[in-house]
Each structure stands twice: as structure tokens, then as C-alpha cells.
Amino acid sequence: MNLIESYTSIVKLTARNLEFDFCGIAKATKLNEDAARLESWLQQGFQGSMQYMERNFDMRVDPTLLVPGAKSVITLMLNYFPSQQQKHTAPKISKYAYGKDYHEVIKSKLNNFLLILQEKIGEIHGRGFVDSAPVLERSWAQRSGLGWIGKNGNLITKQQGSFFFIATLITDLELTPDDPFAKDYCGTCTRCIDSCPTNAILENKIINGSRCISYFTIELKEILIPEEMQDKFQNWMFGCDICQDVCPWNRFSKPTQETAFTPIPQILNLTTKEWENISEESFKKIFKDSSLKRAKFKGIQRNLKFINIR
């Protein structure tokens, strides 16, 4: 085994030891095809008011601008599919937000990952990212052989579907890349497109972010949700899982083993009335470690009102 191969084994083993579900590697190169897709997405205004998507375009399509001297992009995926469901009558919350905020949970795993690699391999540089950095995470997951990008825009694994977070560790360490995931197992299925209540899923795996319930309920801050969307949310109060819930590949989802993602009891149990009556103080206390913070108390109240207008 040469040095590059032995480092690659260390990376894969470390990912397993840190209980990531999948780990794939790609060469850190500029993503030219993705750059064209991203440019067209932005030109059509599909980012809506998510101005952060307009920033750092060059960095987003070139990991060597984010981490100088970058040679490899290690993609890590972590399952968040919960073992318990909300009550049918409760205002719906996306499964990714049932437990502790994934940004914090995964960030600390990524820091450990880098420390272990430095201990075992020596002086290497790298940075771990999850969600909020200018990194095209789904593209890296596909390029590292972990799955295909479905018509609903999500990265789907053949083994366990799409209820996974994606994180990357961009490093100057040279590693053996995995083969990109070449196939697409959506076939003639169109369930996600047919089920999206706001018609946010377009042809060619393009998602109009500015029409997605996830955007309206989480990203649209301090702004009213357009009236045109009234009656379309199907009781989704925070995020939306419809295009994943209907996906046949998610029959293969298995409950997460990550204890930090154990559902906060109130997420499973609060009724609409209780949500309406919750004080800002209690909200902040109960959800202090949760992703719900992103929408803030005011955002949650606005969403509740919006889905309950009859």
C-alpha cells in the first residue's frame, strides 16, 4: 500500500469511528458544470431573498479558493431519520429539526475528524463545513460516489434514501478519489414533482427555492408569506418533507443512531393550541439547542398564523 492509499484508509476508518454513515472522496477541482447550473439558477432568481447564495460565487464553485492548496474534498453524511413521529394533528416540523441543531453536532464531529487526521498523518491543513459555507454539498456527495441527485434536488443514497445531512472536509491532503455516482435511479417516477404543493420542483432537478415551503417558513425573516401560498402548506410550520416522504427510496430509511438527534419531546407532543400559547421565554428555553431558533419565535408565530387561517 502506498502512502496515499494508506492515508485514504485512515480517512475512511476515522469517518466510521466518528459514526458518520457515509464517507466519499473527490479531487478538489473547480466545478465547471455546476458553475453554469448555479449561474442560471441565480439568474432566474430562484434564491429569492437568500442573498447569501449570491455571494462568494467563485469560492462556491472552487474549493481551492476556500482552502488554499486544497487537494481533496471529503464528503461525510449523517442520517437524521427519527425513530418517532409527530402527532398527526400537530403543526408539522421537518424531521431534520427534531433534535439538536445539526450545525453544532456536526461541526464538533468535523473538528474531531481533523484533529485525528493530524494526529495520525501529521501536518495537514483543512476546514470542515456544514450547510452554511459556500460549498455545493450535494454536488460533492454525488462526485464522491455517495448517491445521485434526485428530481427533488436531494442527494439520494441507494442504501438508505435521502434523510441525511451532508458535510465536507476540504484538505490539502492528497487522497485516492472515489468514482462519481454515475447512475440515476429516479427512472420514470415523478412522485415528488406531482406532490410538491407549491410547484417548486421544475424540470431537470431544478428547485425554485423561492417557492419552497422550507424557504417561506425558515428563510423568509420578518416578512409576510405571500397570499398566493395560502392553503398550500399542508400544515407545515417549519420546513417541509413532502418531496422526501413520497420518494420510494425513503422506504429504506433507518432510524438514526445519533443520540443528539433524539426528538425534543415538545416537538412530538405540542398541539396547535399549545404552540399558539407558548411564550417567547419558554420558546427560547425549550428550543435553545434546536434548529427552530433559525426561524425565531416571531417566525414560528407567523408560520402558525399562516397555516391556521381558515
Shortest approach of ligand B12 to residue 277 CB, angstroms?
Answer: 25
What end-to-end distance do the CA atoms of the chain give, in Å? 67
Neighbours of 160 (CB within 10 A): 20
CB 184, min distance to ligand SF4, A: 8
Binding window for ligand SF4 (CB under 6 A); candidates: 77-85, 99-107, 132-140, 245-253: 245-253
258 contact, one of ligand SF4, ligand B12, none, CB 5-8 Å limit per kind: none
Which partner, ligand B12, ligand SF4, none, binds residue 149 by CB below 5 to 8 Å per kind? ligand B12
Question: Residue 96 in contact with residue 81, Cβ under 8 Å?
Answer: no
User: Considering the rule CB under 6 A, would residue 220 count as an interface residue with ligand SF4?
Assistant: no
Q: Which of ligand B12, ligand SF4, none does residue 205 bind (CB under 5 to 8 Å by kind)?
A: ligand B12
Q: Which of 25, 73, 220, 242 binds ligand SF4 (CB under 6 A)?
A: 242
Distance CA 273, CA 167 (A): 37
Q: Going residue by residue from 168 to 207, which x/- string records binding to ligand SF4, judged by CB under 6 A?
A: ------------------x--xxxx---x-x-xx-----x
Q: Is 131 a catalytic residue?
A: yes
Asked if residue 19 lies in contact with residue 257, where contact means CB atoms within 8 angstroms, the answer is: yes
Residues 223 and 56: their CA atoms lie apart, in Å, by 25
Measured distance CA(156)–CA(148) in Å, rounded? 5
- Of ligand B12, ligand SF4, none, which one sits near residue 248, judging by CB under 5 to 8 A according to partner kind? ligand SF4
For ligand B12, the binding residues (CB under 6 A) are 34, 37-38, 41, 50, 53, 94, 96, 130-131, 135-139, 142, 149, 152-155, 162, 164-166, 205, 207, 209, 212, 214-215, 219, 239-241, 243
Rg over CA atoms, the chain: 20
Min dist. Cβ of residue 131 to ligand B12 (A): 4
